[in-house]
Amino acid sequence: MSDFVKTLLRKNSLRKQCQELSGAEIEKVIADLADILEERKAEEAAKQAEQQAKMAAIDAIRETMRSAGVDLADLMDMVEPVPKKAAVKAKYQITDDQGEVHTWSGRGRTPTVFAEYMSSKGISKDQLPSAE
């Protein structure tokens, strides 16, 4: 929680911060906070109305499905699965001392086997053998 919020939530801290303000300035702050509160209430009411409309639509769909004798499992059988993102193609490939081949896309954290290989050979990532 920020210091500003802590000050706002503690009456004595707020009183101390407002010592230098005039009555008119304090009234302005109160009016601004009241406006912010009304905006927040309107946003929350809109979200709640949206959620209620969504739930009403879901209930209507469920009722339509019941009256038509359709089960959710029937629909799931008809839906094609969303394909997963393709894995990033390997850009680098090395073979370790045991003859095991290791590949790496060059993205993210450098795998330990590649870091050890580069340090033992005294090369950089750009000098690694290509996987293609």
pLDDT by 10s per residue, the chain, length 132: 789 889 889 999 999 999 999 999 999 999 999 999 999 999 999 999 999 999 999 999 999 999 999 888 888 888 888 888 888 888 999 888 888 999 999 989 999 999 998 999 898 888 888 877
Residue 105 host element (H or E): none
Residue 85 lies in a domain: no
9: containing domain: 3-77
Same domain, 97 and 67: no
Same domain, 40 and 66: yes
The pLDDT assigned to 84 comes to 82
Residue 103 lies in a domain: yes
Same domain, 39 and 71: yes
The pLDDT assigned to 67 comes to 94
Short-list 80, 96, 85, CA closest to 129: 96
Residue 109 lies in a domain: yes
pTM recorded for the entire structure: 0.49
